[in-house]
Amino acid sequence: MKVAVVTGGTSGIGLATAHLFARRGWAVAVIARDPDRLRDTEAALVAYGRPVLAISADVADAEAVDAAAARIEREFGPIRAWVNNAMATIVNPADQITPAEYRRVTETTYLSQVYGTLAALRFMKPRNRGAIIQVSSGLGIRAAPLQAPYCAAKFAVSGFTDALRSELIHDRVDVSLSVVYLPAVNTPQFNWARNRTGHGQYAPDPVYDPRLCAEAIVATAEKPSREVWVGHSTVMMAAAQALMPGYADSKAATMWSAQLTDAPAPDKAGNLFAPVPGDVGIDGRFSDRTKATRSAYWTSRDRDLLVASLTGVVALGLFGVATLARAPRRLLPRR
């Protein structure tokens, strides 16, 4: 039996991912905070006819995450894939965010991925098998205004994962570590994120379907790749940051207003410190602007093949130039 674990699996991308795993025959364990949504999620997933386990835990609690992993192993057997998807954010200028808010975003968005990875690795490493998937964001490649704690946490995820991956290579451990970078996605997160800007949070175009993200995540669990970029906008952010970081800074500055509604809105406490009650589902409020594609994602294997192809073309061209340079020249008769 293939066993997958999804943190933050009762709404948005996590819920879409849990559904897709179950639809493809995986046993699914979902870890989240809200008991009511966990109960509803479990009821929805069992309809696929596969084993389902819903565990209430705060992913910022290392002991709780470790206990959840042990329970899943005990009741389901070996964990094949662990998806670190849980996150939280606050929308506000960096110098108006409190230390407690910085700490909580870091715990929920970064340290939760550390704790989940370590919990999974304790079981996967002795078996020398398994896939760990970190769900990140284009904002973990190119930061934007108004979400400094979230951007910093996602940057930290990449650093942690790269360091750990090199250690696993050194130890010859065949457990894969993948990072999936996501674009703006139509999820309920825009409805319940903590926001103290005086305006509602808005998803700037292009907005993608959570089910596209689920496709990329599940595909990575089944066929691991070092990195995955979902959506054209994520690819463009990565390219701009790598090639023209100064331009990327200026472009990011314009995203201040693009992330906020024009109309004023009251501040929201959001789900930063406690879950927001109610059934929220997979989709947010931007369905009328959501791209319907299910295939707009690229893996590092695609990139490596492209680089290899371009390198081959360049090498062939240089070889041709060198060959012509060495070829004997035919002297033309003087007139």
Residues carrying an active site annotation? 150
Q: Strand pairing of 297-299 and 227-230?
A: antiparallel
Which 8-state DSSP code applies to residue 35?
Answer: H
For residue 159 the two structure tokens come to 């650093």
Strand-pair partners of 147: none
CA distances (Å), 125 to each of 118, 161, 178, 284, in order?
10, 15, 16, 37
CA distances (Å), 280 to each of 38, 128, 285, 286, 304, in order?
12, 38, 11, 14, 39
3-state secondary structure of 32: strand
Taking the alpha carbons of 135, 62, 274, 144 in that order, is the dihedral positive or negative?
Answer: negative
The per-residue DSSP string of 77-119 comes to -S--EEEE-----EES-GGGS-HHHHHHHIIIIIIHHHHHHHH
For residue 84 the two structure tokens come to 């670190």
